[in-house]
């Protein structure tokens, strides 16, 4: 914006009519043409975001003037002028309604009476112009252009409009006149439009502010969620790396054992084959030597022609034949060697390796027994305390008894304080049960919940296909069919309890926790019929490697 010739006008609010659009605007500055006339105003429109600003001409602006108080003194050019014209200018309508600035004299601030148009383009009442002309260095009150040398002429159109308003004002109040006047009605409509526009803008601004606050809140929340997701992804990558190293470590032991086992068998095979070849080669040499000796003997016999020689040859041949019959050739035949090698290197090689592998494997297998000292009295333990049956009987409940009295529960032994352990439980055909791990300190005589907060990490077998994990919030898993065996893995230091379908080793659910205190296997056949015996409900499966 070129403001080299701009002058500030004090932030006056006006109605800007431009391109058939009416908007509220605040005058920010003004500029003059080269000849000194005040022509254009720089305005800022209200209710625009970002603020919209531009230069407009004076004709586009209709100023909004504040309502004057009744006690406010009207500016007058001189005492005699006000005295002579006071009775003629009883325009109460100007005090109750804001007229456009074009109908108001800039000197007396009243409606024009006999307006005169100056060369600068501004109008003044005839009497006001005469009074102002008597002053030294008189100038136009609007553009400050000197009146000296300016010509003036009567503005009959403006005067006629002012006369009509004056005559109408003598017959009715200013409000009634302006309501009947098309110009006043138009101004009222425009003012109402502007007021509604302001209300709408204020309401939209409030709604926009509320929406902005809500959007900022959602943005902050979403940004926090993104950060948490990034942290989770980073932790997932770290966990995957640790698990990869764990698998590498676990299988490297087996791979190293199998590799060493294979290399050992290959060395034995090569050693046995080399030794067999050596023995067969020595035997071959002996056989060739004897063959050569026999060939020489045959030659000597066939070369002798005398009878005495023939008798000696016959005796020699008889002796050699006897020696040949007493010699077992070959001692190291292929059949003998092949039988030995096949028996040693094509037999149950994997079984032999697996049997020796047991000294290397650390599967963490545990075969807990059921503790008869804490089991509910109606639970019958058999098969070396590995099998549970329901056998109701009469018994007296005593306080502080070590046995469970509230629920049909049995705990396993030994107690686990560290290490990795795995055991499997066989489930009866129609049995519904709760199995898992619990603290040794869970209540024997008072109710408790199957919840980690109460020291229980338990999965429940329900129906034929449902397994419920009682974590902080229950998780339900649908199985294709009821598993016959459930495997339970406990990693004390890792804080892990995992459940598996022992037949397929398919993972069911994993609890994560920090353990403190002794842990024990938890077994509860929860679905039995009162008063009826039930055969095997649960059984600890004995794994034998």
Specify the residue for token string 């004299």: 105
The class (CATH top level) of 369-541 is: mainly beta
Backbone angles phi, psi at 388, to 5 degrees: -115, 130
Output b/e per residue, 440-463; b: 16+ Cβ within 10 A: bebebeeebebebeebbbbbbbbe
Q: What is the pLDDT of residue 174?
A: 47
Query: CB of 427 within 8 A of CB of 523?
Result: no
Tokens of 526: 């929860």
- Is residue 39 within 8 A of residue 33, CB to CB? The reply is yes
Confidence (pLDDT) at 120: 86
CATH of 79-180, one of 3.30.40.10, 3.40.605.10, 3.40.50.2000, 3.40.718.10: 3.30.40.10
Query: What number of other Cβ atoms are within 10 A of residue 355's Cβ?
Result: 11
Task: Tell me how far apart the alpha carbons of residues 539 and 433 are, in angstroms, rounded to a whole number.
Answer: 12
Calpha distance 524→462 (Å, rounded)? 13
CATH topology of domain 6-63: SH3 type barrels. (2.30.30)
For residues 545 and 530, give the distance between their C-alpha atoms in angstroms, rounded to a whole number.
39
Q: What is the pLDDT of residue 410?
A: 92
Region for 145 from its dihedrals, namely left if φ exceeds 0, alpha if ψ lies in -120 to 50, beta otherwise: beta
Tokens of 495: 């804080």
Q: Does the predicted TM-score (pTM) go above 0.85? A: no
Domains of the chain, by residue range, sit at 6-63, 79-180, 188-337, 369-541
| Maximum Cα interatomic distance, the chain, rounded to a whole number of Å | 198
Tell me, yes or no, if the two domains 6-63 and 79-180 fold the same way: no
Averages of pLDDT over runs of 10 residues in the chain (545 residues) are 42 74 80 71 83 84 56 41 42 45 79 85 86 78 80 82 66 50 61 65 70 86 88 85 80 84 88 88 88 84 58 59 57 74 75 74 74 88 83 70 86 91 84 90 89 93 88 89 89 92 89 93 72 59 60
Question: What is the three-state SS of 260-293?
Answer: HHHHHHHHHHHHHHHHHHHHHHHHHHHHHHHHHH
Torsion of CA 45, 48, 54, 56, to 10 degrees: -30
Under 8 Å between Cβ of 101 and 112: no
Total length of the chain: 545
Residues 6+ apart with CB under 8 A from 187: 62, 100, 178
The DSSP bridge partners found for residue 369 are: 413
């Amino acid at each position: 914006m070129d403001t080299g010739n701009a002058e500030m006008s004090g932030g006056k609010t006006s109605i800007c009519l431009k391109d058939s659009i009416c908007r509220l605007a605040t005058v920010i500055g003004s500029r003059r043409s080269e000849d000194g006339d005040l022509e254009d105003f720089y305005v800022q429109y209200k209710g625009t975001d970002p603020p919209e600003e531009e230069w407009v001409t004076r004709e586009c602006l209709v100023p909004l003037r504040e309502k004057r108080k009744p006690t406010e003194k009207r500016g007058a050019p001189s005492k005699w002028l006000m005295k002579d014209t006071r009775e003629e200018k009883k325009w109460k309508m100007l005090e109750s309604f804001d007229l456009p600035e074009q109908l108001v004299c800039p000197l007396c601030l009243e409606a024009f009476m006999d307006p005169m148009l100056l060369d600068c383009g501004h109008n003044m009442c005839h009497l006001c112009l005469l009074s102002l002309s008597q002053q030294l260095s008189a100038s136009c009150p609007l553009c400050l252009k000197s009146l000296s040398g300016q010509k003036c002429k009567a503005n009959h159109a403006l005067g006629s409009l002012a006369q009509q308003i004056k005559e109408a004002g003598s017959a009715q109040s200013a409000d009634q006149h302006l309501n009947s006047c098309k110009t006043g009605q138009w101004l009222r409509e425009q003012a109402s439009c502007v007021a509604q526009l302001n209300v709408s803008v204020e309401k939209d601004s409030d709604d926009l502010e509320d929406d902005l606050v809500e959007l900022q809140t959602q943005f902050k929340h979403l940004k926090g969620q993104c950060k948490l997701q990034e942290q989770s992804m980073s932790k997932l990558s770290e966990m995957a790396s640790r698990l990869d190293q764990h698998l590498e470590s676990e299988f490297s032991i087996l791979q190293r054992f199998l590799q060493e086992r294979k290399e050992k068998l290959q060395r034995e095979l090569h050693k046995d084959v080399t030794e067999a070849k050596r023995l067969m080669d020595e035997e071959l040499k002996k056989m060739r030597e004897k063959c050569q000796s026999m060939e020489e003997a045959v030659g000597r016999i066939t070369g002798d022609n005398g009878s005495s020689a023939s008798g000696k040859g016959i005796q020699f041949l008889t002796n050699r034949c006897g020696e040949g019959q007493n010699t077992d050739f070959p001692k190291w035949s292929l059949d003998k060697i092949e039988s030995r090698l096949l028996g040693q290197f094509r037999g149950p090689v994997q079984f032999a390796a697996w049997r020796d592998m047991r000294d290397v494997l650390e599967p963490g297998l545990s075969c807990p027994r059921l503790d008869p000292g804490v089991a509910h009295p109606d639970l019958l333990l058999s098969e070396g305390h590995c099998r549970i049956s329901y056998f109701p009987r009469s018994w007296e409940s005593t306080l502080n008894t070590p046995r469970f009295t509230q629920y049909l529960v049995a705990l396993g032994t030994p107690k686990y304080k560290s290490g990795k352990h795995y055991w499997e439980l066989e489930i009866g055909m129609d049995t519904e049960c709760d199995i898992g791990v619990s603290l040794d300190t869970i209540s024997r005589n008072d109710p408790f919940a199957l919840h980690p907060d109460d020291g229980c990490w338990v999965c429940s077998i329900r129906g034929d296909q449902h397994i419920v994990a009682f974590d902080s919030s229950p998780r339900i898993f649908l199985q294709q069919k009821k598993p016959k065996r459930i495997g339970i893995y406990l990693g004390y230091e890792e804080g892990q309890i995992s459940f598996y379908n022992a037949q397929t080793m398919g993972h069911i659910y994993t609890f994560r926790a920090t353990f403190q205190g002794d842990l024990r296997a938890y077994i509860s056949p929860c679905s039995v019929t009162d008063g009826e015996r039930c055969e095997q409900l649960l059984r600890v499966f004995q794994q034998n490697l």
